[in-house]
Amino acid sequence: MLDGKTAVVTGAAKGIGKAIALAFAKEGCNIVLNYHSSVSEETIQEIEACGVKCLPVQGDVSDFKFAGDLIKQAKKEFGSVDILVNNAGITRDMLLMRMSEEEFDCVINTNLKGCFNMVRHVSSVMLKQRSGSIINMSSVVGVMGNAGQANYAASKAGVIGLTKSTAKELAQRGITCNAIAPGFVETDMTAILSEEQKAAMLDVIPLKRYGTAEDIASVAVFLAKHTYITGQVINVDGGMVI
C-alpha cells in the first residue's frame, strides 16, 4: 500500500525515529531522513538496503525556514510528500520550582513549535495532492502529566491539540493527522534514568515490559495505511494509561 510513497521522518538518526524510517523503507517508501547533529553511514545504508532511496537532510525543526526547506527538498527529490512523521523531540527535566526559562523554551520550541513548523509547511503540499498522512509523536506524559517534566508534558499535550485541530482542518482534502503517545521506550532519551527510576516505571506498566522503538514504528505504519482514522491519539504504552 505504501510502495513508492515518500516519507519524511524528523529526528530519524537513532531511537524511535530510526525505527520508523526503517519500517517505512521496508514498506517500499523513499525516506527523507532529517537528523540534527549527525547520522551514521550505516543507518543510511540500512535504509537503502530495503531497495529504496534515502535523502539525509541535516537541520533543526524548530527553525521555521528550515522546516520549509526540508519539505521543498523532499518534494523536489521525490515529487510528492505522502507521509510526515514528526518524531524529533528532547527533554530537559527539572522540577517546576527550579525550571529555567531556557529549559522551558527549548523543549517547547523543539517538540511543539517544531511539529507546527513541519505541519504548516507540509500542509500546502498535501492540500494540493489531496492526500497525505501526518503522524505526530506525543507521549503518555502529555496525557497524564509528570512531576519534573512540566515543559515536556506541556509540549506533548500541545502536540495533541495541534494534531486534533490539523485533522479537522485538513480532512476535507483526504489528509489524516494522528498522534502516537508512547509510554516508556528504551532509547537514548530514557537511558539517562537511574535503575530505580526504570524499576518504578516497570511497576506501573501492566504488560510488565518496556516498549521497543519497533512497537512504535509499527503503529506509525498502521496509521499511514489507514485513510479512515484521523484526529486520534494512539497510546502505545503497555497499558500505562487505561
Q: Could you give the 3-state DSSP secondary structure of residue 184?
A: coil
In the complex, what is the shortest distance from the CB of residue 174 to ligand NAP, in angstroms, rounded to a whole number?
A: 26
Answer for the pair 59, 70: CB distance below 8 angstroms, yes or no: yes
In the complex, what is the shortest distance from the CB of residue 81 to ligand NAP, in angstroms, rounded to a whole number?
A: 17
Q: Which is nearer to ligand NAP, 2 or 112 (CB)?
A: 112
Buried b / exposed e across 63-89, counting CB within 10 Å, b at 16+?
A: eeebbbebbebbbeebebbbbbbbbbb
Residue 152 annotated in active site: yes
Largest CA-CA distance found in the chain, in angstroms, rounded? 51
Residue ranges that bind ligand NAP, judged by CB under 6 A? 10-11, 13-17, 34, 36-37, 60-62, 87-90, 110, 114, 137, 139, 182, 184-185, 187-190
- Please report, for the chain, how many H helices and E strands are present, in that order: 10, 7
Q: Which is nearer to ligand NAP, 69 or 131 (CB)?
A: 69
Q: Which is nearer to ligand NAP, 17 or 158 (CB)?
A: 17
**Residue in 116, 118, 101, 237 with CA at minimum distance from that of residue 182:** 237
Q: Which of 35, 152, 210, 228 is catalytic?
A: 152
In the complex, what is the shortest distance from the CB of residue 172 to ligand NAP, in angstroms, rounded to a whole number?
A: 28
Q: Which is nearer to ligand NAP, 3 or 196 (CB)?
A: 196
Sign of the CA dihedral running 159, 165, 169, 174: positive
In the complex, what is the shortest distance from the CB of residue 166 to ligand NAP, in angstroms, rounded to a whole number?
A: 17
Please state, as a whole number, how many other Cβ atoms lie within 10 Å of the Cβ of residue 158. Answer: 18
In the complex, what is the shortest distance from the CB of residue 213 to ligand NAP, in angstroms, rounded to a whole number?
A: 6
Q: Which is nearer to ligand NAP, 64 or 174 (CB)?
A: 64
Q: Could you give the 3-state DSSP secondary structure of residue 30?
A: strand
- Report the catalytic residues: 152
